[in-house]
Structure 1
Amino acid sequence: MTVQKLAPGVWGVLATPLTPDGASVDTDSLTRQVQHYVRIGATGLTALGVFGEAARLTPDERQTVVRTVAAAAPELPLVIGLSALDADAACAEAANVLDVLDRSPAGLMVQVGSPDPDAVVRQLTTVAERTGQGIVVQDYPVMSGVSIATADLVEVVRRVPAAVAVKSESAPSPPAVAILAAGLSVPVFGGLGGTGLLDELAVGSAGAMTGFSVPEGLIACVNAFRDGGFAAAREAWLDYLPLVNFEFQAGIALALRKHSLVHRGLIASPAVRPPAAPAPEPLLPVLLEHLRRTPHALRVAS
C-alpha cells in the first residue's frame, strides 16, 4: 500500500446541510459550502466528520454527501470520516462511500476505538488493509468515549504505516499536539472548533481540521504563522476568537455553526438531527452581533 501524508494547512470539515424538516440532505447547500472552501483556498476537505452529523445519516445519505462533495471540488483532496469504532463496521461504512468515488480519498478518518495501543493498532491496520486507503487517526474522547494516553497514541501511529495524519482533539489539545508533533513524522492537526489553534501551531501542529463557520479566519491564522510566526498569527486570529468561543458551546455548537452558515448564505437551513439540540432562541441575536464584528463573516452567497 502506498500512502501520502496530508499536506499542511486548513482542511475544512463540512457540515451536512439538511432540508428544514431535517428529513433529507440539501445537496444544493452542500455544493455552495464546498465551492466556498475552494474559493478561499482550503488545503482540502473533510466530509462525514462529527460536524457533518455522519452518525445520524443513512448509508444512502452518506453516499449522497460524498458524491456531492467530490463533484463540487474535484481539485481538492478529500478525507472521509468513518463513525464506527469497530473495525468491521468501519470497513462496511468505507465500502459504502468508496463505491461512489471516482478517485481515491486522501484518507479515511478513523476514531481511536480503545485505550489499549495493541487493540488500536489492530483496528487501524484492519481498516487500512481491507480498504487499501491511508488512515487519519482521530483522537476525540468526548465523542468516542475512549481516552488513550498521548504517549500510547504516538506508539500506535508509529506502528501503523498507513497513517497519513493525526487529528488531535483530546482536551487540553496543545499539550497533546506538542507530544504528538515531536514524536511523529506524520502531520498533526488540531480540531475543537479552532479553540486551541494558535497554541497548537506554536507547539508544532500542521494546521487545522475543523468546522468553524468562518474558515477564512483559520486560513488567515495558519498562513500568518507560516509566514510570520506566532506574533503574526496571533494578530491575524484575534478578531475571530470571540466567534470561535461563542460557537464552540457544549451541546449546541453544531446548531450555532449551522445558523452562522445560514447567515453567511452558505446553507439554507440550520436544521440538525436529534440528539443534537437546536440553538437556544435567546442566543441567536448574540450570534448576529458576533458575525457583524467578525472579518469575512458578512453574507458571501445568495
Structure 2
Amino acid sequence: MKLTPDAAGTFAIAPTPFHHDGKIDETSIDRLTDFYAEVGCEGVTVLGILGEAPKLDAAEAEAVAVRFVKRAKAMQVIVGVSAPGFATMRALARASMEAGAAGVMIAPPPSLRTDEQITGYFRQAVEAIGDDIPWVLQDYPLTLSVVMTPDVIRRIVMENPSCVMLKHEDWPGLEKITRLREFQKDGSLRPLSILTGNGGLFLDFEMERGADGAMTGYCFPDMLVDVVKLSKAGQRDLAHNLFDAHLPLIRYEQQQGVGLAVRKYVLKKRGIIASSAQRKPGSVLSETAREEVDYLLSRLARIDKRADLELRSSAAE
C-alpha cells in the first residue's frame, strides 16, 4: 500500500547491518525487520542518514532496500533515495516501488540556500522520479544546513501533490509544527502527515503540538511506539514518565559522530543485529563509552525492564 497523508504511528529508521569485514549482513536485516514488526511499528525507513546510505554503491543500496521491503510484509517501508544526481535517485526510487515500497524520502542537498533554489530542487526531483511516487520531505537543517521555513514547506507540499509526509527534524522546531497545523486549519495547506526525528529528543511535546508519530532510529523503538500511543490516548503523564526515563540515553545517543555507534551497540546487546560494525569510515565506541552506555541501560532498567539486557542475556543462556 502506498504512503498517504494519513500515515501515523512509529516508523523506525533502520541502520544497515554490516559484518565486521564491511559486507552487508542480510540475516540481521531480516531479524531487525521482524523486531520492528513485533514491537508495533507501523513502518520502517531505510537508507536514511542513519542507514549509512552514502557508503553503499547503487547495486547494494537497491539490494538492501528490496530486502527490507520483502521482509516487512504488513509494515510500510520508506526508502531514502537522496543522491547527488537525479538519475541515481530515479533508479533507486523506481526499483524500490516496484519491489513494494510505500514511498521514498528526499532530503535537500546542502548547497541550497534561497527559497527559490529549495522549491525548484524539489520540483525537479519529482519530475525525475515521477509524480506517481509518494514521497517524504526531510527537514533536517542541523545536519543538512538547509533552512526551510513553514511557508517554504507549505509551498513545496502545495506544488507537489505527491509529497504526503514531512519528516520534521528542525531544532528548535515545536513552533514549526504548530504553524503547519495552523495552515491546515485555515485551508492553505492540504493534509500532510508529520513524523518527527532528532532521535526522539522532543517527541513528548512534538506529539502534543500535532505530530502524527515518530520517525527516528532510537535504539528502543518499542518505547517510541508506547509514547506515541499514550500521547494519542491523552495519557499525558504516562507518556512523559516513560519518555523521561529514556531521556538520558536518548541524549547520549544524540552526540554527533558517535550516535550511530551507540545505537548499533545497544541493538547488538538486544540480540537484534549480530555486529555493531559500521562500514568505514565509521566511529567506534571506546571502552569508557561502552561502560557509560551500560550504566545508562542499568539505570533505565529500574523503570523499563526492556533495558535489562544483562537479565535478558542470562535468560537466553
SS of match in other structure, 1:228: coil
Using the TM superposition, give the Cα deviation of residue 35 of structure 1 relative to its aligned residue in structure 2, in angstroms: 0.3
Q: RMSD over aligned Cα, in angstroms?
A: 2.2
SS of match in other structure, 2:20: coil
AA partner of residue 120 (structure 2): R
Q: Which residue does 2:60 correspond to in 1?
A: 61
SS of match in other structure, 2:125: helix
Q: 2: distance between equivalents of 1:130 and 1:260?
A: 38
Q: Which has the larger radius of gyration?
A: 2
Q: Cα gap change, 1:100/1:35 in structure 2, threshold over 3 Å: closer, same or farther?
A: same
Q: Which residue does 1:219 correspond to in 2?
A: 225
Please point out which of 205, 228, 232 is paired with 2:234.
228
1:280 to 2:286 alignment = yes
SS of match in other structure, 2:278: coil
Please point out which of 266, 269, 273 is paired with 1:263.
269
Using the TM superposition, give the Cα deviation of residue 83 of structure 1 relative to its aligned residue in structure 2, in angstroms: 2.7
| CA displacement 1:235-257 (0-9 Å, x = unmatched) | 23222212111111111101111
Please point out which of 121, 124, 127 is paired with 1:123.
121
| CA displacement 1:67-95 (0-9 Å, x = unmatched) | 211121121111111232x5xx2442341
Deviates more, 1:37-46 or 1:100-109: 100-109
Q: Cα gap change, 1:29/1:6 in structure 2, threshold over 3 Å: closer, same or farther?
A: farther
Are 2:103 and 2:136, in contact at CA under 8 Å, matched by a contact in 1? Answer: yes
Deviates more, 1:247-256 or 1:143-152: 143-152
Q: Which residue does 2:186 correspond to in 1?
A: none
Q: Which residue does 1:45 correspond to in 2?
A: 44
Please point out which of 224, 238, 248 is paired with 1:242.
248
Q: Which residue does 1:191 correspond to in 2?
A: 197
Structure 2, unpaired ranges of 5+: 184-188
Are 1:190 and 1:208, in contact at CA under 8 Å, matched by a contact in 2? Answer: yes
Q: Cα gap change, 1:264/1:115 in structure 2, threshold over 3 Å: closer, same or farther?
A: same
Deviates more, 1:73-82 or 1:171-180: 171-180
Structure 1, unpaired ranges of 5+: none
AA partner of residue 117 (structure 1): D
1:11 to 2:7 alignment = no
Are 1:67 and 1:101, in contact at CA under 8 Å, matched by a contact in 2? Answer: no
Q: Which residue does 1:162 correspond to in 2?
A: 162
AA partner of residue 99 (structure 1): A
The alignment's TM-score, normalised by the length of structure 2, stands at 0.86
Q: 1: distance between equivalents of 2:201 and 2:96?
A: 34
AA partner of residue 65 (structure 1): V
Are 1:81 and 1:109, in contact at CA under 8 Å, matched by a contact in 2? Answer: yes
Are 2:157 and 2:164, in contact at CA under 8 Å, matched by a contact in 1? Answer: no
Deviates more, 1:173-182 or 1:138-147: 173-182
Q: Cα gap change, 1:245/1:159 in structure 2, threshold over 3 Å: closer, same or farther?
A: same
1:112 to 2:108 alignment = yes
Q: 2: distance between equivalents of 1:140 and 1:71?
A: 28
AA partner of residue 39 (structure 1): E
Q: Which residue does 1:24 correspond to in 2?
A: 23
Using the TM superposition, give the Cα deviation of residue 103 of structure 1 relative to its aligned residue in structure 2, in angstroms: 4.2
| CA displacement 1:15-49 (0-9 Å, x = unmatched) | 0011112x211111111111000111101110101
Q: Cα gap change, 1:106/1:91 in structure 2, threshold over 3 Å: closer, same or farther?
A: farther
Q: 1: distance between equivalents of 2:57 and 2:10?
A: 28
